[in-house]
Amino acid sequence: STSSIAYSVGVTLDRFIKMKQDDFPYASGELSQLLRDIALASKIVNRETNRAGLANIGGAFGQTNVQGEEQQKLDVIANIRFTRALTKGGEVCAVVSEEDDEVIDLQNGSGKYVVAIDPLDGSSNIDVNISIGTIFSIYRRKTPVGSPITVEDIMQPGNQQVAAGYVLYGSSTMLVYTTGHGVNGFTYEQSLGEFFLSHPEMKAPDDGKIYSINEGSYNQFEEGLKQYISYCKDKNYSARYIGSLVADFHRNLLKGGIYIYPATTKAPSGKLRLLYEANALAYIAEQAGGAASNGHMRILDIDPTSLHERTPLYIGSPKMVAKAEEFLKAHK
């Protein structure tokens, strides 16, 4: 498209956010600022992630900071970085994080937004130098600005998201986000310290040939899923599973595929969290023309009942998700 051409010449994330704000005059400057806050925190986390293997000898490089944070695990550091950026930014009143049991009230009287975040997902992969990610969802608070935060503000279904995104700390670092007008991806240029638009208007292929699931738990899968896996094998699909949600999702979004974290007999709701893992990726998937389901219904229509609730997740190319749902239904 013409816009892709116009975008391709060195558009930074900051400029892109500004351009989008001008395109959609009703979009508030606050949301733009909030996205910039997240991008800034992600640059810091990216820097820490790149140094992960040096953590134990960090002191030798004089990286001790006043908080003594070099002693902490990277997911804890990431949580601190993101919450701090959101606190200082002022647009957010409350944060739900995988790293905190309770809602964090940021005490920002004028904050209109609520953020749900997994600051560093797949952190068990850090020690072995494999891609990890940040996942975030942004909601508008339901109660009036300035009043105390309530459950109503926090427990919103995914279809209420105003923006969502992820950062992939991979062979390159990328930030991908949507504000409900398609999905755009930005690649980090290390030496310039800027994200540049590299993947304008991302589109999930309608169908694909990759299935991503931890088959080690096969014996605990329901019959329909076992049958769907046989179907994938009959079709000679490729099995790809990094075990890092953002990386697995991102690959399948670009190449066409399905990512599944199913219900198992041991974990009847699966492993992944609705509020800060499934919803954000579901919104992005749908905005790119993909689909996201818990096997039976649209992820974005699930009404959350608790902060850290889990959901099975079937996400990716729409035809693959529909096919998997068909198998589950047929073997109920």
Residue list, annotated binding site? 98, 118, 120-124, 214, 241, 271, 277
User: What's the closest the beta carbon of residue 123 comes to ligand AHM, in angstroms?
Assistant: 5
Measured from the CB atom, the residue of 78 and 210 that comes closer to Mg ion is: 78
244 forms part of the interface with ligand AHM (CB under 6 A): yes
99 forms part of the interface with ligand AHM (CB under 6 A): no
Task: Kindly identify the residues of this chain, within the stretch 201-240, that bind ligand AHM according to CB under 6 A.
Answer: 214
Q: Which of 88, 243, 303, 306 binds ligand AHM (CB under 6 A)?
A: 243
* Alpha carbon 1 to its chain's center: 27
Residues 5, 200: Cα–Cα separation, whole Å: 9
Cα diameter, the chain:
61
Residues 82, 119: Cα–Cα separation, whole Å: 7
265 forms part of the interface with ligand AHM (CB under 6 A): no
Task: Kindly identify the residues of this chain, within the stretch 107-146, that bind Mg ion according to CB under 5 A.
Answer: 118, 121
Residues 8, 170: Cα–Cα separation, whole Å: 22
Measured from the CB atom, the residue of 48 and 118 that comes closer to ligand AHM is: 118
User: What's the closest the beta carbon of residue 246 comes to ligand AHM, in angstroms?
Assistant: 7
Residues 268, 177: Cα–Cα separation, whole Å: 30
248 forms part of the interface with Mg ion (CB under 5 A): no
Give the C-alpha distances (Å, rounded to integers) separating 102 from 99, 168, 215, 305.
9, 26, 33, 14
What are phi and psi for residue 244, nearest 5 degrees? -135, 105
Residues 72, 67: Cα–Cα separation, whole Å: 10
Question: Can you point out the beta strands (E) in the chain?
Answer: 92-97, 104-105, 113-121, 132-140, 161-169, 173-178, 183-189, 194-199, 210-212, 238-239, 258-261, 291-293, 313-316
Measured from the CB atom, the residue of 166 and 327 that comes closer to Mg ion is: 166
Task: Build a one-symbol-per-residue string for 3-42: x at contacts with Mg ion by CB under 5 A, - elsewhere.
Answer: ----------------------------------------
Measured from the CB atom, the residue of 121 and 248 that comes closer to Mg ion is: 121
170 forms part of the interface with ligand AHM (CB under 6 A): no
Contacting residues toward ligand AHM, per CB under 6 A: 98, 118, 121-123, 214, 243-245, 248, 271
Contacting residues toward Mg ion, per CB under 5 A: 118, 121
